[in-house]
């Protein structure tokens, strides 16, 4: 693993503060090790290279997971899922429109496009009712390889059983069913022999929902914690920070655990 530190911003006249984005180039045979130390792959390459980023990563330990819902339904219809490859076909299925409508409904800015970069580690999980003509949402996921099995066949493809973990990159729905679809994704990951299902970074109050599932863990920077109480406290604290002065006053996490 090659570490890269993007020194974005610093303040030293009135306060001692440094903004630095830790990034890394991770070989395929070190992906499992990277996951275990809080690294996840960026969805957009930098200078043509895939890089991993360090953050307050979140995941579900599938060994201790139990479904939150007794049944997965939408408007009294069974909700189903299907995995498809990440390629231009997703546009023909109307996923960009679902994404656009979702961002508008949630009031989010469209500064990120999940269809711009699609690598071989990417895939999409589609959620539908009755038939595939009734797609009500999707999730873009990433797959990570086991360290001991990180090799491809002659065609450059990887066996499904070799994936060490899966990550939810972004999920979009026509209806407010994100809690149900996440439950289904976690079950799908467990059925595909993964040990963990990753859910990206966990910051601000909008990320508290991730801790509502059994088996929840989050990366402190040195270890994986199961303290939902501290995680939720940190997320609420994130949302209260609005100025650089606020950032400078935050005590180190080492003194809050």
**DSSP E strands, 112-192:** 122-129, 135-145, 163-173
**Dihedral sign of CA atoms 29, 189, 224, 42 in order:** positive
Report if residue 100 sits inside a domain: yes
> Has residue 45 been placed in a domain?
no
pLDDT at 126: 97
> What is the per-residue pLDDT across 85-137, written as a single tens digit (0 to 9) for each?
999 989 999 999 999 999 988 888 777 899 999 988 999 999 999 999 999 99
User: CA–CA separation, 149 vs 189, rounded Å?
Assistant: 18
> Does the residue 72 lie in any domain?
yes
Distance (Å, whole) CA 57 – CA 247: 20
**Any idea what the CATH number is for the domain that residue 240 is in?**
3.40.630.30
Q: Which residue has the higher pLDDT, 71 or 19?
A: 71
- Section 170-199 average pLDDT: 93
Q: What is the pLDDT of residue 149?
A: 47
Residue 103: inside a domain, yes or no? yes
- 254, pLDDT greater than 80: no
Residue 40 falls inside a structural domain: no
CA-to-CA separations, 129 to 135, 136, 185, 191, in angstroms, rounded = 7, 8, 16, 21
Q: With a cut of 90, say whether residue 220 has pLDDT above it.
A: yes
Percentage of the residues of the chain whose pLDDT score is greater than 90: 63
Residue 256: its pLDDT value, please?
A: 56
Helix (H, G, I), strand (E, B) or coil at 142: strand
In sequence order, what are the beta bridge partners of 17? 11
Residue 216 lies in a domain: yes
pLDDT at 257 over 70: no
Q: pTM to 2 decimals?
A: 0.87
pLDDT of amino acid 112: 84
Pick the closest to residue 192 from 224, 226, 212, 167 (CA basis).
Answer: 167
Domain that holds residue 120: 56-255
pLDDT exceeds cutoff 90 at 244: no
Rounded-to-integer distance, Cα 173 and Cα 106, Å: 10
**Least confident range of 34-43, 157-166, 179-188, 226-235:** 157-166
What is the per-residue pLDDT for 111?
78
Q: How many domains does the chain have?
A: 1
Q: Quick one: pLDDT at residue 161? A: 45
Cα(85)–Cα(114) distance, integer angstroms: 13
pLDDT grade for 29, boundaries at 50, 70 and 90: confident
In a domain, 200, yes or no: yes
Per-residue pLDDT of 10-26, as tens digits, reads 888 877 778 889 999 99
Instruction: Say if residues 179 and 159 touch (Cβ distance below 8 Å).
Output: no
- Give the helix/strand (H/E) hosting 199: strand 196-201
Pairwise CA distance, residues 100 & 121, whole Å: 24
| Residue 150 pLDDT exceeds 50 | no
Task: Tell me if 10 is assigned to some domain.
Answer: no
Strand segments, DSSP code E, in 12-157 are: 17-25, 39-41, 52-54, 57-61, 73-74, 77-85, 122-129, 135-145
Q: What is the mean pLDDT of residues 51-75?
A: 93
Q: Output the six-digit token pair for 235.
A: 């997320």
């Amino acid at each position: 693993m090659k570490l890269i530190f993007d020194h974005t911003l610093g303040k030293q006249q009135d306060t001692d503060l440094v903004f630095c984005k830790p990034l890394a180039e991770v070989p395929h045979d070190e992906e499992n090790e990277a996951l275990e130390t809080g690294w996840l792959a960026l969805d957009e390459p930098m200078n043509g290279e895939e890089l991993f980023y360090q953050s307050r990563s979140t995941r579900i330990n599938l060994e201790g997971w139990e479904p939150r819902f007794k049944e997965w339904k939408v408007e009294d219809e069974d909700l189903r899922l299907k995995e498809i490859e990440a390629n231009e076909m997703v546009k023909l299925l109307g996923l960009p429109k679902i994404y656009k409508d979702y961002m508008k409904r949630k009031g989010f800015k469209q500064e990120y496009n999940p269809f711009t970069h699609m690598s071989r580690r990417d895939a999409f999980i589609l959620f539908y009712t009755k038939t595939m003509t009734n797609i009500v949402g999707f999730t873009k996921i990433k797959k990570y390889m086991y360290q001991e099995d990180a090799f491809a066949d002659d065609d450059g493809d990887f066996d499904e059983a070799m994936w060490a973990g899966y990550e939810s990159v972004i999920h979009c729905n026509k209806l407010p069913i994100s809690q149900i679809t996440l439950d289904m994704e976690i079950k799908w990951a467990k059925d595909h022999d993964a040990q963990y299902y990753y859910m990206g970074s966990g910051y601000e109050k909008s990320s508290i929902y991730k801790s509502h599932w059994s088996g929840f863990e989050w990366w402190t920077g040195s270890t994986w914690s199961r303290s939902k109480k501290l995680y939720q406290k940190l997320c609420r604290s994130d949302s209260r920070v609005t100025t650089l002065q606020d950032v400078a006053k935050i005590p180190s996490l080492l003194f809050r655990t």
